[in-house]
Amino acid sequence: MAQPPKTSAPLEQSLALAYRLLLALTALAGLAWLFGHVRPIPADSQAVVLRFGAVERVQRAGLLLAWPSPVEEVLLLPASEGLQQRHIEGLARNAHAQALDGAGTSLQLMGDELAGSGYLLTGDLGVVQLNATVYYRISDARAYAVQGTQALPALDRVVSNAALQLSAGRDLDTILVSRTSNASGQSAIQREKLRAELVQATNQRLLALQAAGCGLGLSIVRIDLLSSLPHAAQAAFDAVLTADQTVERQLAQARTTAARSRQQASASVASVLNNAHAHADERLAQARSETSEIRALAPRMQQADGPELLRQLYRSRVQAVLARAGQVTTVDPASSGHLIMPGAKP
């Protein structure tokens, strides 16, 4: 007689199901581990593949095929065409020193480390602070990956050393505007060239590191500078700038007033000269009009009727002259008497 089939116990069924589930999860984890570094690289990125810690290759945009960890590691970096920005901490003033500056603490009480934090010495023994923001590209992804986390701190030191050398070779007026009288000319040209010279000096140092076999894989495109004076000296320089601006404004006002006075004087002189010329022309015309008869009579004086015409003209004119006199005394020239006139003896 046949016996009925044995049924598995519930515990055995649960263990079998758990075993199959664990096997499936293990397979999925293995697949995820095996294809963990198979990924697309975006167009604005590049990947550095490290095999057992050494740089194996650099992968541009596209599909990346790499062995899983720990055989190969993938370091994702920005593309070499993209610009990256970094504020240079080595040129910035210490946060504790800034707090002491805000509290009005003198530099003598801060100590050498805090007092000199963030300040550069110029060639004319001035002190200036340069806040620099660097825009760079990752030109060599292999070298950048080799440097790792030390690349950007090393860049800070390179830019700080270049800025220190440039400031030591310049005076204060070629770095920032400390006096308005020097706001133009050669000093202004040197201030415009400071950024370009700092970029050039930094790139030269980066190339020197690359030639020595310890390159950072970076190239500088642009550096933005914000120059300022020490907090303790800022008020004094502001007072000097204010005084210079006041003097310049007063000089400009004086020049304007002088130019206006000169124009008014020139206009007055021109008006006086024009009036004088007009009056002279008028008096000359009047004199010519009054003497026209005499001038017309002069050529006829050599003729017989000349004297008679002169006497007639005299008689016609003398009446008008005598009419203006308050008193007239006539003397007969043919009389033998003597006329006594008042006044000093001739």
Residue 3 confidence (pLDDT): 54
Residue 297 confidence (pLDDT): 67
Characterize the bridge pairing of strands 39-41 and 62-64.
Answer: antiparallel
Which superfamily does 80-229 belong to? Band 7 domain (3.30.479.30)
Residue 22 confidence (pLDDT): 81
Residue 5 confidence (pLDDT): 52
% pLDDT > 90, the chain: 23
Residue 36 confidence (pLDDT): 60
Residues, the chain, total? 346
- Locus of tokens 């000199």: 116
pLDDT at 319 over 90: no
Ranked by mean pLDDT, the top range of 16-30, 39-53, 109-123 is: 39-53
Residue 137 confidence (pLDDT): 93
Query: d(Cα 34, Cα 220) in Å, to the nearest integer?
Result: 39
Residue 1 confidence (pLDDT): 47
pLDDT at 63 over 70: yes
- Locus of tokens 């292999």: 142
Domain ranges of the chain: 32-78, 80-229
The count of other CB atoms within 10 Å of the CB of residue 145 is 21
Residue 99 confidence (pLDDT): 73
Condensed to tens digits (0 to 9), the pLDDT of residues 119-142 reads: 888 888 888 888 899 999 999 999
Mean of the pLDDT values across residues 171-178?
77
Least reliable range by pLDDT among 6-20, 47-61, 159-173: 6-20
pLDDT at 18 over 90: no
Mean of the pLDDT values across residues 310-324?
74
Contact 231, 101 (CB under 8 A): yes
Top-confidence residue, 320 or 159: 159
Mean of the pLDDT values across residues 170-174?
84
Condensed to tens digits (0 to 9), the pLDDT of residues 244-294 reads: 788 888 999 999 999 999 999 999 999 999 989 888 888 888 887 777 777
pLDDT at 68 over 80: no
